Amino acid sequence: MNNKEALQQLLQYKRGLISPTELGSPRPTGRGRRSRGLSQARVAQELFVSERTYALLERGEMAQPSAEFLDNVARVLRMGEPERTALYVYALGYEPPFPMDPLAGTHVGPAWLTAVHRVKGQPCYINDVAWNVLACNDDFVRMFPQVPGRVPQLPERNLMRWMLLREDARECHLVDWESNWAVKVAAQLRTAFAAHPHNKDLQMLDEEVNDDPVAGPIYRRHDIAYVHPDGDGRPMRHAGTASLGVEQDGATRCCDQHAPSVLGRVTMCTAQPLQSPGSRFFFLVFAPTASESGEAGQHASGTAGPEGVVSSGSPHG
């Protein structure tokens, strides 16, 4: 089957599922054979286009239909996200750039939550489109700087706010924060806010980060483009010494406030729950480093990092 035939069958099928009476038309009376569902003329009427225009789409003969037109067709024919994706693929040859549902990416199914909690021995978590943690396992919680004597806990539900605005992230946990973390993470936030400008959490993050005297100037830079961290490796401190199999005397303190932690490098393996476009699943692979001399020098001197920005010293892009 070619794309024209697939498009035609998809649209005809969806038209056939909707009764004209559902759109306010009177129930037909009298004799005569009637086709099932909406006619092409009625769909065109709902789209505020001519019947000929809609017929061109259904026959696969419309040259490069606009995304707005396809989204209107999906709305009129009551398509779900998978059907809308198929509509784009058949009509344009590629998937839609953004989900139809404005709440997409803000939640995941219960099976994902169960799967995350059942992972043992390796940190993993899911965040939504605005970096709010939706689910995480105990190994992930133990990665963060912890206060001695307290039960391990996340320092912040929103990871973007923690990475860019919290002092313990900038000075203790995320090594060489400005050049290794802030530049890329801030670019991610810019891209996400541009893609989801009506998301309330992203609106708040945009304002908070822009107003911050440390992160704000980095956020307002537009010379770095960065969309996702899949496969990226960055230096950090890992507070879960027990889960790493590291003896307490093999760890050091980042500061007097936090329990000992281990210097190393985290590699981020990222995936997307397909029914929640915009959310992200992270599987974090941490490898301790043999020496902490490099970090000590960076924290002490505040020297310029590899991208020419001054360093100040979560694995959670």
270 and 169 share one domain? yes
In a domain, 313, yes or no: no
For position 247, what pLDDT does the model report?
A: 61
10 shares its domain with 55: yes
Asked if residue 116 and residue 87 are part of one domain, the reply reads no
Kindly state whether residues 201 and 249 are assigned to the same domain: yes
Give the model confidence (pLDDT) of 132-141 as tens digits: 999 999 999 9
Please write the tens of the pLDDT for every residue from 247-256: 655 688 888 8
> In one letter, which amino acid is 177?
W
pTM over 0.75: no
Task: State the pLDDT at residue 292.
Answer: 45
Total structural domains within the chain? 2
The two structure tokens encoding residue 56: 């061109």
Q: Six-digit token pair at 24?
A: 């306010």
Q: Are 312 and 159 in contact (CB under 8 A)?
A: no
Judgement on whether residues 166 and 122 belong to the same structural domain of the protein: yes
Are 123 and 57 members of one domain? Answer: no
Domain annotation covers residue 314: no
**CA distance readout (Å), 225 to 8, 38, 74, 184, 221:** 39, 46, 32, 8, 10
Whether residue 297 is contained in a domain is answered as yes
In a domain, 308, yes or no: no
One domain, residues 145 and 178: yes
Tokens of 210: 């822009």
Q: 103 lies in a domain?
A: no
Answer whether residue 287 shows pLDDT above 50: yes
In a domain? residue 223: yes
Measure the CA–CA gap between 47 and 253, rounded to whole angstroms.
64
In this structure, what DSSP letter does residue 255 have? Answer: S
* 71 and 35 share one domain: yes
Segments forming the whole domain that contains residue 60: 3-92
Q: Same domain for 171 and 45?
A: no
Query: Within a domain: residue 267?
Result: yes
Residue 58 sits in a domain of what CATH number? 1.10.260.40
Is pLDDT above 60 for 309? no
pLDDT computed for residue 174 by the predictor: 96
Based on the fold, state whether residues 57 and 11 are members of the same structural domain. Answer: yes
Could you report the per-residue pLDDT of 118-127, keeping only the tens digit for each? 999 899 999 9
Q: What is the pLDDT of residue 89?
A: 94
Residue 25 has a pLDDT of: 65
97-111 average pLDDT score: 80
Rounded Cα distance between 153 and 230, Å, is: 25
Query: What CATH number is given to the structural domain containing 159?
Result: 3.30.450
Query: What pLDDT is attached to residue 246?
Result: 63
Question: Does residue 101 fall inside a structural domain?
Answer: no
Of 61, 92, 123, which closes a domain? Answer: 92
